[in-house]
Amino acid sequence: MSGDVEGIVVQLLASLVLHGDATFMVPRMGPVSRDSGNANGYRRVSYNNRRSRHRFCLVVYMLAKIHRLQVNGGSYTVRGLYYSDPQLIRTQRHIAAARLDVCHMLNTSPIRLGVLSASKGLMTGDIRMLMTNGDVLDCNVYSGAIILPTDTEKVERIVTQADFVLVVEKESVFESLLARDLFGTFGRRCILVTGKGYPDCSTRRILHRLSTECHLPAYILVDADPFGIEIMLVYRLGSQSMSFTSGDLATPTLRWIGLHPSEIPALSSGAVALSSGDNKKIDDILARDYIGPGVRQELRSLQQIQQKAEIESVIDFLSTDYIPNKINRNLFL
């Protein structure tokens, strides 16, 4: 990758010397040639344009940091980069946007760049992670959950005897399942994971590795609303902003066990009306051509009944009935 970074910089310098044009061509959804002529395929981030000058400087800054990582090894966090020069960077949001630009330019993920966001994901259950520095993160010796490592590439090997992985959308549901002794109630070894809402790259990467390296079936439980379905799709297929690098982060075999919108009428309580934002999100997801028929049907159920429900509406029988029933009877999409 260091050669790719150097190539981008050489191309920039040549353009600057020959044409006085200090501009990066940032692909919108994947790699696009500067000479392709596709005006809609990229954004111009130019030093010559005052509106994009700061963004241009941050992309140069990010390329320099990434090149150093590729030569010397190691990693950075977005937070660490911000605090190294807050006057230049201004906010963490700005440096995160520059990182995304470079991901698009190099057609890779933040994990591969080595510029990471602090992990927020939690995990517990039958799992040990053997780190490259010799440390061992063993969930079996903790009474609660552990925070996933920020740099998941430093997890050299994952050891588990679990039968499956269960991902839950929210931390509150994660804690509730632990309090209600999910492991003892269900009677099967499992790994419980949450990304605390919209998942970060570390959580998605660990789930991908559990599925591909440990060959564990993975299930997910989200709210019966369009934003819960969006989160399920991010785990399964990758995010919209980095769809071109979803291979390292997506888990296509992820099984959606609930809550399914078609179940809302049977819940009898806990459902509330959809908002205009909910309906807009439904239309946005339905417009994507890669959505499978089962998910599409559930989205249309939301449109039809105009109601949504949270996981908490079945919390009283979640671990004793709902989850075991869905898994044992293969009631998933």
**Partners of 124 in the beta sheet?**
192
The dihedral through the CA atoms of 225, 192, 114, 70 has a sign that is negative
Burial of 171 (0-12, 13-18, 19+ CB in 10 A): middle
Place of tokens 């039958």: 126
Query: Within 10 Å of residue 216's Cβ, how many Cβ atoms?
Result: 21
State the virtual CA torsion across 173, 321, 264, 272 in degrees, nearest 10.
Answer: -40
- For residue 227, the 8-state DSSP code is H
Q: Which residue has the tokens 């053997």?
A: 130
**Phi-psi sector, 116: left (phi>0), alpha (psi -120 to 50), beta:** beta
- Per the CB < 8 A criterion, the answer to whether 323 and 186 are in contact is yes
Alpha-carbon distance of 194 to 148, in angstroms, equals: 10
Query: With contact defined as beta carbons under 8 Å apart, do 228 and 234 qualify?
Result: no
Residues annotated catalytic, as ranges: 83
CB-facing half-sphere around the CA of 307: CA atoms within 13 A: 17
Three-class SS state of 6 = helix
- All residues at 6 or more sequence positions from 12 whose CB lies less than 8 Å from its CB, including other chains: 22, 23, 24
